[in-house]
Amino acid sequence: MKFIVSSAYLLKQLQVLGGVINNSNTLPILDNFLFHLEGNSLTVSASDLETTMHAVLEVESSDNGSIAIPARLLLDTLKTFPEQPLTFVKEDNNTVEISANNGKYALAYADGSEFPNPVSLSNPSKTTILGDILATAISKTIFAAGNDDLRPVMSGVFFQFNTESLTFVATDAHKLVKYQRTDVQASQTAEFIMPKKPLNLLKGILAGSESEVTIEYNDSNAKFSFDQTELVCRLIDGKYPNYEAVIPKENPNVLNLNRNLFLSSVRRIAIFSNKTTHQLKLKVAGAELNISAEDLDYSNKAEERLSCSYQGDDLQIGFNSRFLTEMLNNLNSDEITLSMSLPNRAGILTPSDSLDPGEHVTMLVMPVMLNN
């Protein structure tokens, strides 16, 4: 088994696939990349059993075969090469020899047949979406997903597809984000919960991508195919909470203000907040917003005034500054709207501008009780 491939081209593909491999694996074979050669087509795979990803590379060869090569060792070696052709030859003594312009390197390989087989999806449903739209949907929601192992359904992003729109939702019970696209539709209704790890991989690869991504899914697995690359992952099992029920419908108190000014103010005032509650108080009356925080344990306190446009009754409401900062960071608009009803009901953050046609973002942040 022998093939020739460009070092930079191989490294670029392997760095993407390397994100799948865990630092500590239960099966030693998962520390390897699987190289499967059929003529001039080389398929490289990486897996952690839950998520499997493979990319098809074009190489110079007329051989067939499959071997598993240690991932960390191969990546560390490739990173040091300038751009040049590399020749891989499988030797009889259980090593694979890599020949470069000025050296030879031998790595022990494992038998390719030990590598777990990828899951094949039986009669899946199918949807196509632009890579960049999918990456945006992931980055707008994934930060709000929970980390609680006892509530696994809330540790992923909920995909809700129907014939009118695609909706992506994430929540950890303190904050909730709903990202919707009415300019993209699915052929039939479907719902599934995607784990964070494969989503982070997709977000990194697809940001800015003009490629079409085909999503195939059934009850237990999902497969994403684009640009000679495929990612298959196991879905999170369980029923997602009814998120629509927690979004307040009537929000008569509406505050409009500049996102950057508000974010800077929240960051500054947060420094003076209590280190356990991170509580900020927003007091709004007329065209003025007063933001304050105090830490009674250390006698620290701060307050700032911002001019804003406000329709509604005078209101005092408390929020966790960390959640508010995260949400404001994940909006790209210049102006934002904060809609509220009562001090004990969630506030709804929405961008006022810079959205694509058909794009809708709703962020919900739970209040914290003010200890007046």
**Mean pLDDT of the region 135-156:** 94
pLDDT at site 371: 67
The percentage of the chain sitting over the pLDDT mark of 70, rounded to a whole number, equals: 99
Q: Which of 277, 227, 177 is nearest to 16 (CA)?
A: 227
Round to whole Å and give the CA distance between 370 and 372.
6
pLDDT at site 26: 87
Residue 315: how many CB atoms within 10 A of its CB?
17
**Mean pLDDT of the region 110-124:** 90
∠ CA(249), CA(251), CA(257), 5° rounding? Answer: 130
Round to whole Å and give the CA distance between 191 and 35.
34
Q: Which of 351, 279, 339, 336 is nearest to 315 (CA)?
A: 339
| Contact call for residues 5 and 60 (beta carbons, < 8 A) | yes
Round to whole Å and give the CA distance between 317 and 324.
13
The percentage of the chain sitting over the pLDDT mark of 90, rounded to a whole number, equals: 90
Round to whole Å and give the CA distance between 160 and 79.
40
∠ CA(332), CA(213), CA(222), 5° rounding? Answer: 105
- What pLDDT, in 10s, does the model give residues 259-298? 999 999 999 999 999 999 999 999 999 899 999 999 988 9
Band (314; pLDDT cuts 50, 70, 90):
very high
| Contact call for residues 332 and 363 (beta carbons, < 8 A) | no
Place of tokens 């509530």: 151
**Mean pLDDT of the region 311-322:** 95
Band (372; pLDDT cuts 50, 70, 90):
low
**Mean pLDDT of the region 150-155:** 93
Helix (H, G, I), strand (E, B) or coil at 118: coil
- What pLDDT, in 10s, does the model give residues 23-58? 988 899 999 999 999 999 999 999 999 999 999 999
Position 355 pLDDT exceeds 90: no
Position 1 pLDDT exceeds 70: yes
Backbone angles phi, psi at 335, to 5 degrees: -115, 145
The structural domains of the chain, ordered by start, are: 2-114 (3.10.150.10), 125-244 (3.10.150.10), 247-365 (3.10.150.10)
Token readout for 311 is 């329709």
pLDDT at site 123: 86
- What pLDDT, in 10s, does the model give residues 169-198? 999 999 999 999 999 998 889 999 999 999
- What pLDDT, in 10s, does the model give residues 57-90? 999 999 999 999 999 999 999 999 999 999 999 9
pLDDT at site 149: 84
Q: Give the full edge-to-edge strand order of the sheet including 288-295.
A: 300-307, 288-295, 279-285, 315-320
**Mean pLDDT of the region 140-169:** 94
